[in-house]
Amino acid sequence: MKYRFFLVAAVFLLSRGAYGQRGPALSAEESAISAQIGGLRSLPDEVWKETVGKLARQIRQLPAGSGKETLIGRLGNLVTEGDAGHDTLQVVASTMAQVLRDSPNSPVSSTLAELVRYEHVEISSDNPKYRAALAKLDEENRPRQNPEFTLRDLKGAEWDFKDLRGKVVLVNFWATWCPPCRKEMPDMEALYQRFGPRGLVILGISDEDAGKVGPFIAEQKYTYPILLDPGRKVNELFSVSGIPKSFLYDRNGKLIAQAIDRRTEGQFLAMLKQAGLE
């Protein structure tokens, strides 16, 4: 979910625990679950979906404690890297809400807020940290409604967002070093080839410099526009702290869908359908 800084944070959390203390000693069952979570990114989509669902339900059945809290936090950071299905997302969110009832200061509050706001799961919680996290997301979302930005692509051509009215625009934040980003890019290229003639524009925005981005795009032969944001002004406008993130605007410039993580082709198609492309 938050791939930027995720590797550093994961190492820290596993070694020190969620609160800066030595990580919890896991039971044999919890250790087995932890090992499976660690291998999720290597799985093909079909196996990934089945495994994520199984892990979510196993964690839900664990007794309350720091082990359960750690495992659902780790799974929550990975569950949106593909199409887990609404039922699995709901299990993860409900388990996080349960953890918050047992441990009100748990850091899972931020991930839970993102699942509720952007993946449309439902939970009931009056936890102050969770409510504050929801309010923060709402504040971050305001500038995304009517963004104004201009960036140059790899060829030096200027792209002004306001000039794209009349088009369906998918704004995607990515980087060459980000595995989930690289995994979804072939699907975006296929969608661009299919729907580009019908008015779809995909803007792939990277905060890296042209020396890194250019060779990668040339090697992969992606043809949708790649814009450079080395000063991160547009990343900051959209409050992007983790990638990939995608924002879909209809032909009137209205934000109609957004994704906080990697999307599959099917998920992208569902988003485009909301803009009249199918």
Q: Rounded CA gap, 227 and 185, in Å?
A: 14
In a domain, 136, yes or no: yes
pLDDT, residue 18, reads: 41
- Of 9-13, 111-115, 206-210, which gets the smallest average pLDDT? 9-13
Q: Rounded CA gap, 264 and 270, in Å?
A: 10
In a domain, 38, yes or no: yes
Q: What is the mean pLDDT of residues 233-259?
A: 96
Residues 11 and 135 reside in one and the same domain: yes
Does residue 90 register a pLDDT over 90?
yes
Write out the residue range of the structural domain in which residue 122 sits. 6-141
Does residue 109 register a pLDDT over 90?
yes
Q: Rounded CA gap, 130 and 114, in Å?
A: 10
Residues 200 and 90 reside in one and the same domain: no
pLDDT, residue 25, reads: 85
| Per-residue pLDDT band at 249 (split at 50, 70, 90) | very high
Residues 93 and 186 reside in one and the same domain: no
Instruction: Tell me the pLDDT tens digit for each residue of 42-81.
Output: 999 999 999 999 999 999 999 999 999 999 999 999 999 9
Does residue 265 register a pLDDT over 60?
yes
Residues 121 and 137 reside in one and the same domain: yes
Q: Which one of 113, 141, 169 terminates a domain?
A: 141
pLDDT > 90: percent of the chain:
90
| Per-residue pLDDT band at 1 (split at 50, 70, 90) | low
pLDDT > 70: percent of the chain:
91
Residues 157 and 253 reside in one and the same domain: yes
Total domain count for the chain? 2
Tokens of 92: 């993860």
In a domain, 189, yes or no: yes
Element (H, E) at 226: strand 226-228
In a domain, 125, yes or no: yes
pLDDT, residue 132, reads: 97
Residues 133 and 176 reside in one and the same domain: no
In a domain, 1, yes or no: no
Residues 74 and 178 reside in one and the same domain: no
Residues 25 and 105 reside in one and the same domain: yes
Q: Which one of 141, 173, 199 terminates a domain?
A: 141
Bridge partner residues of 173 (DSSP): 205, 245
Query: Is 256 in a helix, a strand, or coil?
Result: strand
pLDDT, residue 21, reads: 42
Quick one: which of 203, 246, 247 has its CA closest to 227? Answer: 203
Give me the CATH number covering residue 176: 3.40.30.10
In a domain, 167, yes or no: yes
Q: Which one of 114, 141, 168 terminates a domain?
A: 141
Quick one: which of 114, 95, 98, 264 has its CA closest to 186? Answer: 264
pLDDT, residue 72, reads: 98
Residues 118 and 164 reside in one and the same domain: no
